[in-house]
Structure 1
């Protein structure tokens, strides 16, 4: 390494201008010289008048010149050994400077530097600027990349080695691939003795090829299909739920004319979610079958209220059907109509609806009983005490084929005889089974026996997807029994829902949905939402 050229203050070398510190020292030195010159005439007279005193005092102490400022040097690490050309050097500390920018006024040139030339003096090893360039290259290598693509060459893990002279040596451990989201790292410039070595931009260690953008007309790379109208409609954002409409939040909104519009509370959000579940789109007619082989288990009540809830929130097209083989009570629990026709009468005139082009929805009004305000029709079972007619499996299938052309949701009330052919036929066409029981030992045991019978006859899937409804028969509930029933049916069916006691249903007359308590209506809405999830 050549000797370093330095020059004293005030004596600039031919190869560089004065630094600021050297200029400041030169000005201070000239000011001291002027002060010394002004003080010499005043001191000459005392020296002549008292020569002996001057001799005693001795000569004036010589002025000490400030030492020459040497150029700052950087510790130079030892030259790389053979086979270490692939090493990359990175300063352990220091700021990251742009490549080619002047740092600490180290450039000794007198004019604009040539393009591609380093503004720093040549060195035989790694200089400070080269260290800064390495630091900048590493900073660019570790910065997030805006390009997307897959590297074409595998790069190893960076393993640190013991640092020397303030520089940390980084090597690549072979055999390991870089992360997919890491951009390529630039290679370190080689340390040579030629002028300007290491100052030019180094080539990256490996190429980076971004993945091509999707081409119009090509299928999706994941699904392999082109987008359709359904995909476009599914991409729409869901509308906002809107402000509260019930409770004190709704009262505040109405009182302020909408100036204050609180968001709905938890109960109202759950109600809206249940309504949305009931209103979900169906790809065809659906059949819900309500079962319990014991009377007094609230099967008829559940059939009527589930059908009414679907009809209310789906704007009609719901049917409550009494599928008792002889006589049921659904017709008695519904509002009376101008006729007394039943399923037996519809079965007798079923040929009228055989031709799809001639059958009309209005023709069914002579056989079903429309419930005012409930948006549901009721098809009662045979009510003639002198009649010997009965509905068997073949009759049920014929009625079911015809009614599915006019109703989207049919809720079927079954009898107490699980061995009856029409009972078995209803289970065969069921899309959803609802197991109803009161919180009583006898009705709960009957429901459990029905579940065991279904599983024994190969209907495990129907039971697994079923919904269990536990209705309170009295204002005071048996909590211990209710917990037992939840534990038992919760392990067998998909959902178990409690329905509170309602005084409006005790009398046993026609069911008036508007007379139900808010808690009861909310509970049956939850039941209907759970049923809709299984459709």
Structure 2
């Protein structure tokens, strides 16, 4: 793959957009082609549900992999309680921001946007993996992962995957706007083969409304946690199909999170805007500094404000986190994000969108520089 330069990206997109090919070409998308492909085994493949792909074979070719049941990400009895999504900024704040944009010089803003877009659209010769974690749950880790995935989807023309690697009952599918999930990372690990094409793989993934794909860690049930072996199998196999993979890891010091942070091309540590949160995140940065390779050089801290009434001095907190030599990107409080539920990009506050783009640009720049 690496020897083909940037051509592999166009080839993969062509496979997806051209659809099934006849003899000698890439296999058709699971469950959508004109007929089954010849198989060495005489037994016919099991029939899947209409919207689910049919696995080519399990690890034991004599034992077909059962098709998981499709389950909603939010219980329908609870979905009606979500209410209408709020805008991240109030009407007064939006009006004031419009006036400030009219009176401000556009030169600097355009220059920054151009720089960020250039970073985000850098070509890659092999898939880049970005790991996102935090020191504890509930600080916005999945929200930051979803913002990164959506930002990469918006700016890049090649395939982007957002992967959930949280052993707990994660919220990434909900934040990404998935209405239901079927195949999990553990399910996919049992059917992945080197012969699969992009169109085969995407049949097991959840398409994201504004582009890209999602692979959940589970179906929202309490069950066996995602283990390191499964994580390695899935990420190593999927890197050849996707230019960027954003991994929503479990919290540190979980084993999967430590593995993901150690093996990723770039890392994001989400720090809550609290004294204990900043202190704990600084300890994580000191740990990354002790890894055999230069992990800090490819790490960015997202300093997230979960309340509009935070009393911690943001500049002092950012300065403390920058001491080891990392970049800190503040993520302001946003009413839309605080509401929970699916993230609607158009509802985000302007400052939140700008911060998400800057964070993604910082991360992409580091991921590309890593060999």
Normalising TM by the smaller chain, what interval? 0.5 to 0.7
- Which residue matches 1:344? 186
Inter-partner Cα distance in structure 1 for 2:205 and 2:354: 27
Deviation at 1:282, TM superposition (A): 1.9
Deviation at 1:307, TM superposition (A): 1.4
Match of 1:355 among 187, 194, 205: 194
Inter-partner Cα distance in structure 2 for 1:318 and 1:476: 35
Inter-partner Cα distance in structure 1 for 2:220 and 2:181: 13
Inter-partner Cα distance in structure 2 for 1:272 and 1:297: 30
Query: Where do 1:489-504 residues align within 5 Å?
Result: 489-504=321-336
Give ranges in structure 1 of 5+ residues lacking alignment. Answer: 1-246, 252-262
* 2:145 is aligned with 1:303: yes
Deviation at 1:449, TM superposition (A): 2.6
Greater per-residue helix proportion:
2
- Which residue matches 1:177? none
- Which residue matches 1:470? 303
The verdict on how the C-alpha distance between 1:265 and 1:417 changes in structure 2, with shifts beyond 3 A counting, is closer
- Which residue matches 1:315? 157
Helix, strand or coil for the counterpart of 1:265? helix
- Which residue matches 2:64? none
Match of 2:352 among 520, 530, 533: 520
CA contact (8 A) 1:341 1:366 kept: no
What is the TM-score with the length of structure 2 in the denominator? 0.66
CA contact (8 A) 1:319 1:411 kept: yes
- Which residue matches 1:291? 133
Deviation at 1:346, TM superposition (A): 1.0
Inter-partner Cα distance in structure 1 for 2:116 and 2:197: 32
Helix, strand or coil for the counterpart of 1:410? strand
| Per-residue deviation, residues 94-117 of structure 1 (Å, max 9, x unmatched) | xxxxxxxxxxxxxxxxxxxxxxxx
- Which residue matches 1:84? none
Give ranges in structure 2 of 5+ residues lacking alignment. Answer: 1-97
Helix, strand or coil for the counterpart of 2:245? strand
The verdict on how the C-alpha distance between 1:301 and 1:459 changes in structure 2, with shifts beyond 3 A counting, is farther
- Which residue matches 2:5? none
Inter-partner Cα distance in structure 2 for 1:341 and 1:465: 31
CA contact (8 A) 1:466 1:493 kept: no
- Which residue matches 2:115? 273
Inter-partner Cα distance in structure 1 for 2:293 and 2:308: 34
Helix, strand or coil for the counterpart of 2:171? coil
Deviation at 1:514, TM superposition (A): 2.0
Match of 2:205 among 349, 352, 368: 368
| Per-residue deviation, residues 488-514 of structure 1 (Å, max 9, x unmatched) | 211113311111111110121011222
Deviation at 1:526, TM superposition (A): 0.7
The verdict on how the C-alpha distance between 1:506 and 1:426 changes in structure 2, with shifts beyond 3 A counting, is same
CA contact (8 A) 2:286 2:324 kept: no
Query: Where do 1:247-262 residues align within 5 Å?
Result: none
Deviation at 1:386, TM superposition (A): 5.1
Helix, strand or coil for the counterpart of 1:383? coil
Deviation at 1:339, TM superposition (A): 4.3
Inter-partner Cα distance in structure 1 for 2:194 and 2:329: 42
* 2:213 is aligned with 1:381: no
The verdict on how the C-alpha distance between 1:406 and 1:509 changes in structure 2, with shifts beyond 3 A counting, is same
- Which residue matches 1:411? 246
Give the root-mean-square deviation of aligned CA atoms.
Answer: 2.6
Helix, strand or coil for the counterpart of 1:364? helix
- Which residue matches 2:285? 451
CA contact (8 A) 2:149 2:246 kept: yes
The verdict on how the C-alpha distance between 1:311 and 1:493 changes in structure 2, with shifts beyond 3 A counting, is farther
Deviation at 1:410, TM superposition (A): 0.7
Inter-partner Cα distance in structure 2 for 1:510 and 1:405: 29
Deviation at 1:479, TM superposition (A): 5.3
* 2:318 is aligned with 1:486: yes
Relative contact order (alpha carbons < 8 A, sep ≥ 6): 1 or 2 greater?
2
Deviation at 1:477, TM superposition (A): 4.3
Match of 2:339 among 484, 501, 507: 507
Inter-partner Cα distance in structure 1 for 2:183 and 2:229: 20
> Which structure is larger by alpha-carbon Rg, 1 or 2?
1
| Per-residue deviation, residues 17-48 of structure 1 (Å, max 9, x unmatched) | xxxxxxxxxxxxxxxxxxxxxxxxxxxxxxxx
Match of 1:399 among 227, 234, 239: 234
CA contact (8 A) 1:471 1:499 kept: yes
What is the TM-score with the length of structure 1 in the denominator? 0.47
Inter-partner Cα distance in structure 2 for 1:416 and 1:266: 37
CA contact (8 A) 1:293 1:415 kept: no
CA contact (8 A) 2:301 2:327 kept: yes
Inter-partner Cα distance in structure 2 for 1:292 and 1:487: 18
Inter-partner Cα distance in structure 2 for 1:338 and 1:523: 29
- Which residue matches 2:258? 424
